[in-house]
Amino acid sequence: MISQGREAIKVGHAGLIRDSELFKTLAHEEMHLRLMRKARRGHRNSLEVVTHPDPLIEEDYVERIAIKYLRMYERAFGKFKH
């Protein structure tokens, strides 16, 4: 069992299609970890999301934030060329 503090992200081939996808995947997975950390600290909304019976709720939430990060990055540094 993965213990607290040992959580890590593994990115598979699907995330390596292009740079923008890799960026979004990393942000997406990082959000899962941050959400879990906040839930462990007792943050009610995070706990609601990570323990929701429908796992798509958490997936949709972190994906929306990952897309937001991607748009922010592209606004600041320009679009990914690949």
Partner 1 sequence: MSVTMFSVSYESLGKILEQLQQSPEVRNSPELADHVHNAILFHQQILVELEGLLSERRELEEKVSELTREPGERVCNQPAQSRFVKYEELRARGASPQEVYRAARNDGLDTIESIKALRQIFQLSLPQAQEAVSQAEIELRQHAA
Rule CB under 8 A: which residues touch partner 1? 1-2, 4, 10, 28-29, 32, 36, 39-40, 44, 47-48, 50-53, 55, 59
User: What is d(CA 8, CA 53) in angstroms, rounded to the nearest whole number?
Assistant: 23
Least separation in angstroms between CB 43 and partner 1: 11
Nearer to partner 1, 10 or 81 (CB): 10
Nearer to partner 1, 22 or 32 (CB): 32
User: What is d(CA 71, CA 20) in angstroms, rounded to the nearest whole number?
Assistant: 10
User: What is d(CA 61, CA 16) in angstroms, rounded to the nearest whole number?
Assistant: 22
Nearer to partner 1, 61 or 79 (CB): 61
| DSSP secondary structure letter of residue 17 | S
